[in-house]
Amino acid sequence: MKQKSITDKLSDQKAALYVRVSTVYQVDKDSLPVQREELINYAKYALGIDKYEVFEDAGYSAKNTDRPAFQQMMARLRTGEFSHLCVWKIDRISRNLLDFAEMYAEIKQLGITFVSKNEQFDTSSAMGEAMLKIILVFAELERNMTSERVTAVMLARATNGQWNGGRVPYGYDYDKDTTTFSINETEAAVINLIYDTYEANQSLLFVARTLNEKGILPRSGSPWNPTTISIILKNPFYTGVYRYNYHDEAKSGGNSSNQHLKSEADWVLVEDHHPAIITPERQAVVLDILENNRRSNRRSAKKYVRKNVHIFAGLLYCGYCGSQMQSTIDRERSDGYRPSIYACSRKRRYDDCENKYISDVVLAPFVLNYISNILKAQNNFGRSTPIETFERKLLRGDMFSDVDHIEQVGLTEMYEMLHRGVSDAVYTSQRIRSMEADKETADERDLLAAEKRKKERALARLKSLYLYNDEAISERDYLLEKKALEDSISTIDKRLEEIERASSEHFTLTDDEFMTKASIFIMTHQLQNKRYIEFDKLIRKIDANVIKEFINSVIQKIVIKNGKVVSIRFKNGLEHKFLYKAQE
């Protein structure tokens, strides 16, 4: 019986065999087949495991664990399918101590035994686990020492003027045979155009837009942007200087777009390394302009206070290209009001999108009245209400006259939600109920405080009556009445403490949270109590920030096409798409 249980246990074991090589050369030399065959034999004859599966990564380095077969294997290990993880050598998993330690900690917690065939240990024993940790420490040490040696060689090469590789700067060609740079005349003309345009206009955005409008693209084929223009203007390579060891990869996390510079004392600068496109004097002038603009922007950012509030900023997206729509101020109306207008950011930048702009004058009445209609429809919703009637209620108002219907999917979702008795059809109506509860709590607090004052006055009169007119009340009656009043006051105090404690927990709000809460309360009552929302009157009566906070608490995204609202996605995930009548 005992022998049978051991056999059963062995039959339940299954090994994950992981093999990896980092270069095509190793693949061609059949390193993978060798690893695979040796691991299969080791699992069968050394571990006594007949069931196994091979996970193979060909041509992937061990600098991290972002490899397809490895990730697939880890996902399978987490399901409990395997009892062992076997590798040819531990560096097949990773040469990074942290990555390996994280992986090992996870599989150990899963109860999986780690086995390295070449190092001849497995972690099912204490000695095997200790050996593993020692080997990992020395593997990490070797990797760091190798990295230091490579860095020293690269610095020596750079100091001698030798190119250490990388992306060849725009404007130049590189000959690998002669290891020299030459000017690419076509691209050099673009570099000069960039400098000319920036010196004349002193705007990175203007330079990028000019190049894009002229159809001039960088090597990547993507449109120019201000960041790329800034990098070109600041790069000393265009003055013939080779700069190396200036970028701190440790601080940037290996992300080249996140530039962290080392101290200039650590830079390697080689003068006259290659032909210059721009003179050092001209670049110095441009660098001064860039620095002055940076300081000016920083000062203006501190002083400038935005007067206009773009109510729908950050919520609008183009119905043609999907770009976010940018907001600007429109002309002043006769009553002094200046609405915002919103236009496709891509259209503004490249002028290749056909979408029209939309104004608060059109957008706000549509959105606010639609939310108002939803609130009123859900308040008056009956289980026998047909979906057609529900849709008519949502589209009540002149601003919806050219809407043919609401797309069935979103309409049905909201209708069924209300039919199930869920009152949160447009946004968190729970917040409204919470605010109403807050008001009720405040009313209760006032009533209790008034009652407490009344009881305290009664207690004071009782004491006076007993002390100064002993014939009016007996000591026994005095003590009984006094205790009843004190107990009543104590009960009130306890309830007031409960209310204060709940309020302190509930009302520990930031200014933004308080603003949002107040906005919801104010706007909800406005929208629920009026048949039609006249935005021009509302904006004069209620601060635009209140309306903006409310809109942002309700809506996640609005899509605009040809000056019309084509869809609204609410914060609760529901989305309504509007289909318009055909134009005659």
**382 closest CA partner among 393, 371, 366:** 393
Helices 387-394 and 408-419, packing angle to 10 deg: 110
Cα 518–523–528 angle (5° rounding)? Answer: 135
Task: Identify the residue whose tokens are 């249980």.
Answer: 5
Kindly give, in sequence order, each residue whose CB lies less than 8 Å from that of residue 393, ignoring residues fewer than 6 positions away.
373, 376, 377, 380
Kindly give, in sequence order, each residue whose CB lies less than 8 Å from that of residue 296, ignoring residues fewer than 6 positions away.
none
Q: Which amino acid is at 363?
A: L
Per-residue pLDDT tens digits of the chain, which is 584 residues long: 444 444 554 557 999 999 988 764 454 444 788 889 999 999 998 889 999 999 998 887 767 778 899 999 999 999 999 999 999 887 788 766 667 777 888 898 899 998 988 877 666 777 777 766 776 676 667 666 765 665 566 656 656 666 766 788 899 998 888 888 899 999 999 999 999 999 888 889 889 988 998 899 898 888 999 989 998 998 888 998 887 666 555 444 444 444 566 666 666 677 888 899 999 888 888 888 888 877 666 555 444 444 578 999 989 999 999 999 988 888 777 777 788 999 998 887 777 899 999 999 999 999 999 998 888 888 888 778 899 999 999 999 999 999 999 999 989 988 888 877 655 555 444 444 444 455 566 667 778 888 888 888 888 887 777 776 656 677 777 788 888 888 888 888 888 777 776 665 544 444 455 455 555 666 777 777 777 888 888 888 888 888 888 888 889 999 999 999 999 998 888 899 999 998 65
For 56, phi then psi, to 5°, come to: -130, 125
* CA–CA distances in Å: residue 278 to residues 158, 233, 234, 238, 273: 22, 10, 11, 6, 14
Give the DSSP H or E segment for 568: strand 564-570
For residue 65, the number of C-alpha atoms closer than 13 Å in the C-beta half-sphere is 20
The 3-class secondary structure across 252-270, one letter per residue, is HCCCCCCCCECCHHHCEEE
> Could you state, in order of their start, the residue ranges of all structural domains in the chain?
2-146, 184-303, 310-431+510-584, 432-509
CB 551 within 8 A of CB 562: no
The 3-class secondary structure across 526-551, one letter per residue, is HHHCCCCCCHHHHHHHCCHHHHHHHH
Output the pTM of the full model.
0.41
Domain 184-303: CATH superfamily is Putative Large Serine Recombinase; Chain B, Domain 2 (3.90.1750.20)
**Cβ neighbours, 10 Å, residue 103:** 18
**Cβ neighbours, 10 Å, residue 427:** 22
Does the domain formed by 2-146 have CATH 3.30.830.10? no
* CA–CA distances in Å: residue 366 to residues 40, 435, 532, 567: 69, 26, 11, 11
pLDDT in tens, 61-108: 767 778 899 999 999 999 999 999 999 887 788 766 667 777 888 898
Q: Which amino acid is at 232?
A: I
